[in-house]
Structure 1
């Protein structure tokens, strides 16, 4: 079979790489030295026209399978490396067949866990790595992806301000389903627990793990972090009645974990008068276009998230779950948003633009409700905010216009 490169390569020079030689024997001028994680396959990095590609030597079946899985994950906006091509039909100078190759785009500014831990490892750094891994695994499971070989070695980490973001690198053993089964999910966690324990023992044997860090405790912590996050994202809240403040508490916890709420589902629990509240979770960055489409409000991303959270609470509180979204949004705009921003006295309307004012009123309502131990309501929150907070703010409109 002749040499074939299948995919959407961004650089035509990929085909000119020395595919007739085993990857381990490629000349140095084709390669770039970057930190590599532990892999059962030969992996090298090649630079072409300023782009860096990761190349993994693997059998044709698994190369094609992993390529398709990575594309599916990429399409679903899941944190994973981007697939570029599969190279098949490789033969050496002696005519002997060589393994195929999977080409992915190198994730810039990313590091394998051993590189992150190669310096002085502080416990908080390790905690952030485990948090990032837990978030990645939860996102994969919410997508319906069964990993089959979750480990720190199969992840790349990028620094994200004071935290880390984790990206899947190796999908060789993965499977994508409409929904992941409970058995698959729990098996993934068991595999991750064993693999992380082994990786920590390996670091310990190499003198790279501080004596104060226990490998088994690290593996247990990774498992516990995952379970805590999964529970927060998927569990039901059972409340006696639709209490706006309780629902807002749940949404805030989800937002603090980096997840947004697309909609709220409320159902009565059989045999009781209580209600079960379950949020539908989506990833950050989902919201900014939705309020513009529904209400005409063109706002920033964080403002959009807050407005939509309030809109979803309004839907729940008024029993409008089955009503058309555009109708609910129109009611919310007319009954909640506009009366709130119009409650600002004329002389104070230059203090904040409307969406930011509404956002800050909701924050103020949250703090007042926390103090009171109950929902104080929007009307009281507006009155208190205008009287005690807004009057002391500088005139933002005048500041922006340079007056």
Structure 2
């Protein structure tokens, strides 16, 4: 905790804090008094609330932080406050402000186009799915309790208010349904409020908006959780499922497979983005960018499932020596300066996918490697020519 927080005027109600302690930031609707302060370049949100509520929310936010869930970071609780006359004041919860984030009302400072609203709903539906996968029941899902960050043309959603939440090992269908109904009612009211303020596009129907969040959630939940039956040699179908999840913004940590009469039941375990580089380095020693690591790990996990290997380290070692390294060694010496090893393998996997899509079946790795070398890699410029320097000297 920043020691400078101790110097704030805690004996004064938040409504009376002097302006020289505050920073003006866009703020959503809240049932509590909330102020923002900047200390040594860091912005904190300070919220007055009840003591039990503050303690509960603090504990929940810290628990969510431990599992890398997209939420604001809890910093401290200031309790036992009294004013200059000795009268008790409400405790405050301090959270770290999420940089570059905006409440939904700031995004509607001008009339938003329908496609922008669509991206907001996608982000909120994805947040709810991630939340329910972790066993977190929100209890007050709304646009007001969410912060949005722009993310390469889309939005990423973060939980900002957890005082009604509960973290359980697993949520039932009924608990998920209750959370969705709360979300539907809250978002309908918020959309009506935007419409009354004249900042909702005339083509957007508030009731349709609230229903759309639920529909998007249900579609995403199904794609993330359903068990898919595939034939024993249908590696291509497994890769297709993983790719669809990647396109929806979910990464796949591993693929669980169980044997049935004519094939396998496949169920992927999804995680948040940013996971793969660390896992690939831990398992194989390969240092790659995130998208490269995702493709390599997808291939490793499919290999592990097909090989019926339960030990992750053993599977990684075998994949490295039996799959990855043979592909790299297959590249002739005069072509090896065209791409680094991780990128080369990632492009081979992508090439195999395209060939398999065209053929309607898995074409296999060896034919894909030979096709890639002959039809793709040979036509690429050397890194030396691209960079304008000698690679070995660099």
CA gap of 1:360–1:101, structure 2 versus 1, over 3 A, is same
C-alpha displacement of 1:268:
2.8
Aligned residue for 2:76?
85
Aligned residue for 2:287?
298
Give yes or no for the alignment of 1:154 onto 2:141: no
* Residues 184 and 213, structure 2, Cα contact 8 Å, conserved in 1: yes
Equivalent residue of 1:279, what SS? Answer: strand
Gaps of 5+ in 2: none
Give yes or no for the alignment of 1:383 onto 2:374: no
**1:21-170 superposed matches below 5 A:** 21-170=12-161
CA gap of 1:51–1:327, structure 2 versus 1, over 3 A, is closer
- 2:232 aligned residue (241, 248, 256): 241
Aligned residue for 2:216?
225
Aligned residue for 2:262?
273
Give yes or no for the alignment of 1:363 onto 2:363: no
CA gap of 1:295–1:206, structure 2 versus 1, over 3 A, is closer
* Residues 114 and 201, structure 2, Cα contact 8 Å, conserved in 1: no
C-alpha separation between the residues in 2 aligned to 1:299 and 1:25?
52
Aligned residue for 2:308?
319
C-alpha separation between the residues in 1 aligned to 2:330 and 2:39?
60
C-alpha separation between the residues in 2 aligned to 1:97 and 1:303?
56
C-alpha separation between the residues in 1 aligned to 2:41 and 2:327?
53
Which range moved further: 288-297 or 230-239?
A: 288-297
Q: What per-residue deviation string (whole Å, max 9, x for no partner) do you get for residues 139-190 of structure 1?
A: 1112211100000000111111211111111101001112222221111111
CA gap of 1:292–1:112, structure 2 versus 1, over 3 A, is closer
C-alpha separation between the residues in 1 aligned to 2:278 and 2:60?
29
C-alpha separation between the residues in 1 aligned to 2:283 and 2:202?
56
C-alpha displacement of 1:78:
0.9
Which range moved further: 280-289 or 247-256?
A: 280-289
C-alpha displacement of 1:16:
2.6
- 1:258 aligned residue (249, 261, 269): 249
C-alpha separation between the residues in 1 aligned to 2:331 and 2:90?
70
C-alpha separation between the residues in 1 aligned to 2:243 and 2:191?
34
Which range moved further: 80-89 or 179-188?
A: 179-188
Aligned residue for 1:286?
275
- 1:180 aligned residue (164, 171, 175): 171
C-alpha separation between the residues in 2 aligned to 1:344 and 1:50?
50
C-alpha displacement of 1:20:
2.0
C-alpha separation between the residues in 1 aligned to 2:184 and 2:272?
25
C-alpha displacement of 1:327:
2.0
CA gap of 1:396–1:186, structure 2 versus 1, over 3 A, is same
Aligned residue for 1:353?
340
C-alpha separation between the residues in 2 aligned to 1:239 and 1:35?
49
Give yes or no for the alignment of 1:199 onto 2:190: yes
Which range moved further: 103-112 or 284-293?
A: 284-293
C-alpha separation between the residues in 1 aligned to 2:67 and 2:332?
46
Which range moved further: 332-341 or 104-113?
A: 332-341
* Residues 242 and 275, structure 1, Cα contact 8 Å, conserved in 2: no
* Residues 361 and 385, structure 1, Cα contact 8 Å, conserved in 2: yes
C-alpha displacement of 1:35:
1.3
Q: What per-residue deviation string (whole Å, max 9, x for no partner) do you get for residues 243-262 of structure 1?
A: 11001101111122222222
Q: What per-residue deviation string (whole Å, max 9, x for no partner) do you get for residues 115-138 of structure 1?
A: 101213111111111111112111
Aligned residue for 2:360?
373
C-alpha separation between the residues in 2 aligned to 1:79 and 1:170?
12
Gaps of 5+ in 1: 1-8
C-alpha separation between the residues in 2 aligned to 1:108 and 1:138?
23
Equivalent residue of 1:118, what SS? Answer: coil
Equivalent residue of 2:81, what SS? Answer: coil
C-alpha displacement of 1:400:
4.8
Q: RMSD between aligned alpha carbons?
A: 1.7
C-alpha separation between the residues in 2 aligned to 1:171 and 1:235?
28
